[in-house]
């Protein structure tokens, strides 16, 4: 398996623009997570899905952020409109179970810069 | 609520030496899991080791071992025989009954030749 695949690896956009981050989890993994990493706040869980259904989105910062998982092999995180404070590395991760006994498999991340 | 504290922002170790990275936690859940992840400069997060709160034995995975002291609420990572490729950020995380993991702020490890 190629692991969790995220695209793009880097994204630079202007304030106010819409940004869409993409994730393909490992086949067979029932759980998908979106995390955000910044120097100030560390690694934060934004939202997670179980069997394509959003379970907990309490970490989503505000209404500008939305996430979807239309099928088991694809998820998106959208920011509209983007702001400079959204600049961060966004990780997608997946796992077989909710209790990550085998850990979560993270993608390589998308480094987002909003100017 | 659950919390992870990693008090060492940076650690240095000589190649082939052992190093301990500290992690203390706080949780009200009776059952929980503790994890360590490695983040090299390339950015990806790599799962290293897991310890369940009811596990009697300390977890080991190759050169990694988790020194779990439940009464002290500590879950330190021990890396034996350090290698240059071990230079990275290391994150401790806890997952309680809500199954929402919380990560620490990380410790930077630099291995000197």
Give the pLDDT confidence of B10-58 residue by residue, as tens digits: 999 999 999 999 999 999 999 999 999 999 998 889 999 999 999 889 9
pLDDT grade, residue A10 (50/70/90)? very high
Min Cα distance B92 → chain A (Å) is: 11
Is B52 in contact with A101 (Cβ distance < 8 A)?
Answer: yes
**Average pLDDT for chain A:** 93
Q: Which pLDDT does position A98 carry in this prediction?
A: 64
Q: What are phi and psi of A86, to 5 degrees?
A: -80, -5
Most distant pair of Cα atoms in chain B: their distance: 43
Min Cα distance A8 → chain B (Å) is: 14
In chain B, whose CA is at the least distance from the CA of A95?
B47
In chain A, whose CA is at the least distance from the CA of B97?
A99
DSSP letters spanning B2-54? -EEE---SEEEEETTS-EEE--EEE---SS-EEEEEEE-TT---EEEEEEETT
Give yes or no for a cis peptide into A81 (omega within 30° of 0): yes
Is A108 in contact with B100 (Cβ distance < 8 A)?
Answer: no
Q: Which pLDDT does position A19 carry in this prediction?
A: 98
In chain A, whose CA is at the least distance from the CA of B92?
A43
Contacts with B104 from chain A: Cβ below 8 Å = 42
Q: First-to-last CA distance in chain B?
A: 41
% residues pLDDT > 70 (chain A): 96
CB within 8 Å of A41: residues ≥ 6 apart: none
pLDDT grade, residue B97 (50/70/90)? confident
pLDDT digits (tens, 9 = 90+) for A24-76: 999 999 999 999 999 888 999 999 999 999 999 999 988 999 999 999 999 99
% residues pLDDT > 90 (chain B): 85
CB within 8 Å of A51: residues ≥ 6 apart: A30, A72
A99 vs B56 pLDDT, higher one: B56
């Amino acid at each position: 398996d190629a692991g969790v695949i995220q695209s793009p690896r880097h994204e630079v956009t202007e304030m106010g623009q819409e940004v869409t981050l993409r994730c393909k989890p490992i086949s067979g993994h029932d759980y998908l997570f979106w995390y955000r990493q910044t120097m100030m706040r560390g690694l934060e869980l934004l939202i997670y899905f179980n069997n394509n259904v959003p379970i907990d989105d309490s970490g989503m910062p505000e209404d500008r952020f939305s996430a979807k998982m239309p099928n088991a092999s694809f998820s998106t995180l959208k920011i509209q409109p983007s702001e400079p404070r959204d600049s961060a590395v966004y990780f997608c991760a997946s796992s077989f179970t909710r209790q990550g006994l085998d850990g979560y498999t993270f993608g390589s991340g998308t480094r987002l810069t909003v100017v | 609520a659950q919390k992870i504290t990693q008090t060492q922002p940076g650690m240095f170790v000589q190649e082939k030496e052992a190093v301990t990275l500290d992690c203390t936690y706080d949780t009200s859940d009776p059952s929980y899991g503790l994890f360590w992840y490695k983040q090299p400069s390339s950015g990806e997060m790599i799962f290293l080791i897991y310890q369940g709160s009811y596990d009697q034995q300390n977890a080991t995975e190759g050169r990694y071992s988790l020194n779990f002291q439940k009464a002290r609420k500590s879950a330190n990572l021990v890396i034996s025989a350090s290698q240059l490729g071990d230079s990275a950020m290391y994150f401790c995380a806890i997952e309680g009954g809500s199954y929402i993991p919380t990560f620490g702020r990380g410790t930077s490890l630099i291995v000197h030749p």
